[in-house]
Amino acid sequence: MIVMKLWNQSHQRTPIDLFIYEPFDFPSEYARASHMEISPGLEAPFIALEALLQMKRDAARPQDLVDIDELQHWN
């Protein structure tokens, strides 16, 4: 397991993935991360798209491949 998925019954469409361990260089990716306000006064870091796509390519599970296609269409 690399990631543990958490969600709230009230917000099932917005799960949060917590890394059990990082499959990347954490200091470098944290420096590249976008920091966005997710609630008034609360910011969260979001990994760069290229790093996320690479993690999904490396995992290569069927859902990851679908995710890659969807993420590339957003960009």
pTM, to two decimals = 0.73
Mean per-residue pLDDT over the chain, rounded: 90
Which one has a higher pLDDT value, 46 or 2? 46
Confidence of residue 75 (pLDDT cuts 50, 70, 90): low
**Residue by residue, what is the 3-state secondary structure of the chain?**
CCEEEECCHHHCCCCEEEECCCCCCHHHHHHHCEEEEEECCEEEEECCHHHHHHHHHHHCCHHHHHHHHHHHHHC
State mean pLDDT over 25-35: 94
The reported pLDDT for the residue numbered 65 is 94
Statement: residue 43 has pLDDT above 90:
yes
